[in-house]
A and B are shown apart, each in its own frame.
Chain A
């Protein structure tokens, strides 16, 4: 049973692939009906499906393809020109084929009660016959549907007079070629009808290999002959497999006694399976013939295995990042050492190989986007006929590759957008003519790579969109307010079509405007972390650009710091980064915005979104990440840009996953965990934050006014009470606050609980010395700029160098004059 199942699956995979290809080829054929090569290709596909179908006993499918094949055969021989009407019938039969195949896939047989192939068969036959009589008209199909009963006259012959019984009496030699064809076709038809009503006149069960010679093949109709031959092949195979089985049994029997059981079954079970295997062979051959492309060597691999491989590569990438980090540390410490060179070579080669490996594995998961594009020629053809428009679809870059999981997700949004372009974009021919455009509209579907993204462009030369109209409509529907509309750029106005509840179609057609709308497209693209861009000129056309990341597991990210917390932002959503000053921020209706070139972007502080406590002094410059997702853009204020890094997405686990704004975590080269921002969710949070918090206020939260000396606090760290006393005496005159700590550990503790503006630090102290203390302090972003002044009796150059290394700002040697100390402190506080 398994083998049959496997065979069936193979058949279905191939059949679906071929039909998809056929769809495309047929549409192409309609444009160039004389392309013999194309015709041959299509014919071969139909023939192959018919062949495979009959091996698997799918009679309905076989019957349908047989008749379709007949039409194609005629066309191939130049006896028939494919017109649009004929193409409609052919495409209809392809659809029926698809339906039957789907039914087979779901149910395992081809009964497909919902699909009635008889009308299609009649139409197909009518095309074959109709053309022959040379009295064809475009309504042949209609005629013939009822025409079964009507007399059909070909040349001098009245077909209705011919029956299977009197067929021998016809003098075939005297007939014209067309007449002959018609008669034969008629006979086949009669026989088919008869077969439908009663079992075929040949009883296959009676035929055995032994009496095969006695059958008079000439007396059989071609199909009966086929059936008999099939039957004989099957018998032959059974015989063979029996022999094989017996041989096996012999050898087995000597080995084990158990072998008897299968031997008994071999007659019933094994034989059909064997014959299927043979038919599989034959089918494979047929397929090979049909698909004339180069015989690629391929194997099918379970996607799960590729996923696992991808996970392992992820671990490797992390280890590589770590290695690079360690190398950098080592390089600093052992500068000039010989072994560094060698280490460098190893690190770079591992890093290169890892990257290559990653790309290679990613590629195994990639499929050409043509897989999705293939169905669009048919879609556009059907649509344009339905809508009475003339539309040409130009596809480019179908070889561009994308991750399998993305390919699966992208089909539906693209169908929607193409429909949209044909339905709303392209004008009816008369309108185009009146505008001085060619009657035939063009839709371009183009895919190409751009960095780590793939860009899919859907462009039409239709009527375009009018930003003012869109705004008006959006206001009417209550999607935006008047003042929002007034502040809206054209590009932003185009984005309105992606808002839920916005549909520009003046009337609802069956094609589009059924309430789902473009917001579904947006949601789907956002799911893939993609960006949508729209450009349009009224009267000239519209261009949609979908930018989608190539893969989902390992991504390029921009690392940013908000206060002291690091976050990784997927680079595919980063449009650009800018540095601004506070004056660049405008407030409109109590909301902060950034004016960037043409656009006005909502501006939100990342620390406000994630409710991070503000501990850093605001600086002169603000760093802004412009984020884009789907059709939305915002400006996100961060405190520092760290850089770009390749990161591996890891889950936060059952307990923490699904937190707003967070997509997961990654492990950095230094072993620390950095959270990855979920741009979609972050955008929603940002909108909420944007509505309630003005950036400029939030920026100043941390900024406390310091005017007089008593606003400042200086910490004295020394293990000697006397030394602390000396410092205190010298500094009290300044009128500043002084707090004391007697070693590094205590100082750190105090620092956490007090706001300190400068520190005087002794070097030699118990528990934690001054160097270590300085090092610890500098680890915090918050204290990056805190003045640290070493006060020590250690005076060697090495000590000073060490002081600078750990981050001391100044180095005062004991003993010192009170004035000197005052000056240093004053300078460092900016008093």
Chain B
């Protein structure tokens, strides 16, 4: 038993190692538009991207929590990043998508206005967020400068929502 586990482990290591070597200086991201701005998250944090489906409102939540919806039998919360970032709610059109990401082992979906592209960016091109950014919740990982001159805000997925912000303590 133990030896089998070890073999599996070794295999995994040998599989992931070369990639790790590459990813040491290259980060793969998925870019999307929310409001006027382009954001990106690491491709590995994305579970899936789906077209908008109907959701159910949930009372006593901040307004950026739009509600919950059914993704193949699981009930997932739906977050509107635009409201979260202090802009107005977005209209849903044919470009709107739900990005499902894993946050602390829970699937959470975020509404985005439009997907842009999958991006590869060199680590050295990612800079810490400038002081002018309001980064109170520590939701910004850094700012990426693309080869074509675009500036992309890279989000810290784990900090996008916090339970204590949603459900007030002790009910």
Contact = CB atoms under 8 A, between A and B. Distances in A.
A672 B167 CA distance: 23
Given A653-B76, A653-B106, A681-B171, A673 B70 contact: yes
Given A610-B59, A611-B60, A665-B56, A656 B167 contact: yes
Contact of A673 (B55, B105, B167): B55
B75 A655 contact: no
Interface in B42-64: 54-61
Nearest to B106: A654
B104 A652 contact: no
A610 B56 CA distance: 14
B75 A651 contact: yes
A612 B167 CA distance: 18
B56 A655 contact: no
Interface in A578-627: 610-612
Nearest to A664: B75
A78 to B, nearest CB: 63
Contacts of A656: 58, 61, 65, 68, 77, 166-167
A672 B60 contact: no
A566 B54 CA distance: 13
A153 to B, nearest CB: 72
A808 to B, nearest CB: 24
A318 interface: yes
Contacts of B77: 652-653, 655-656
B75 A673 contact: yes
Contact of B56 (A318, A651, A673): A673
Contact of B57 (A565, A650, A671, A681): A565
B112 interface: no
B59 A612 contact: yes
A315 interface: yes
Interface in A631-680: 650-662, 665, 667, 671-675
Contact of A660 (B60, B68, B103): B60
Interface in B80-124: 103-108
B59 A611 contact: yes
Contacts, number: 79
B150 interface: no
B73 A655 contact: no
B163 A659 contact: no
Contacts of A658: 167, 171
Given A611-B60, A612-B59, A655-B106, A650 B75 contact: yes
B69 A673 contact: yes
B7 to A, nearest CB: 22
Interface hub of B59, B73, B104, B166 (most chain A Cβ within 10 A): B59
B161 interface: yes
B108 A655 contact: yes
B56 A674 contact: yes
Contacts of B107: 653
Interface string A18-56: 000000000000000000000000000000000000000
Interface in B126-171: 161, 163, 166-167, 171
Nearest to A666: B75
A656 B64 CA distance: 13
B167 A665 contact: no
Contacts of B105: 654
A652 to B, nearest CB: 6
Contacts of B171: 658, 660, 681
Contacts of B61: 656, 659
A659 B106 contact: no
Given A318-B73, A611-B60, A659 B167 contact: yes
Interface hub of B55, B76, B161 (most chain A Cβ within 10 A): B76
Contacts of A654: 104-106, 163
A566 B65 CA distance: 18
A652 B70 contact: no
Interface hub of B75, B107, B108 (most chain A Cβ within 10 A): B75
Nearest to B91: A749
Nearest to A609: B59
Contact of A652 (B57, B68, B161): B68
B68 A673 contact: yes
A565 B56 contact: yes
B151 to A, nearest CB: 30
Contacts of A675: 56, 58, 68
Nearest to B162: A655
Given A658-B171, A681-B171, A652 B58 contact: yes
A665 B163 CA distance: 18
A667 B75 contact: yes
A665 B104 contact: no
B108 A659 contact: no
Nearest to B59: A610
Contacts of B104: 654
A667 B60 contact: no
A315 B73 CA distance: 8
Contacts of A315: 73
A365 to B, nearest CB: 22
Contacts of A650: 74-75
Contacts of B75: 650-653, 665, 667, 673
A662 B58 contact: yes
Contacts of A662: 58-60
B163 A672 contact: no
B32 to A, nearest CB: 21
B53 to A, nearest CB: 8
Interface hub of A318, A654, A655, A660 (most chain B Cβ within 10 A): A655
A661 to B, nearest CB: 7
Interface of B: 54-61, 65, 67-70, 73-77, 103-108, 161, 163, 166-167, 171
9 contacts: A652-B58, A652-B77, A656-B68, A656-B77, A660-B171, A665-B75, A673-B67, A673-B68, A681-B171
Listed from nearest, the 3 A-B pairs whose CB atoms lie closest are A610-B59, A673-B56, A654-B106
Given A610-B60, A611-B59, A651-B75, 6 more contacts: A565-B56, A653-B108, A656-B58, A672-B54, A672-B70, A675-B58
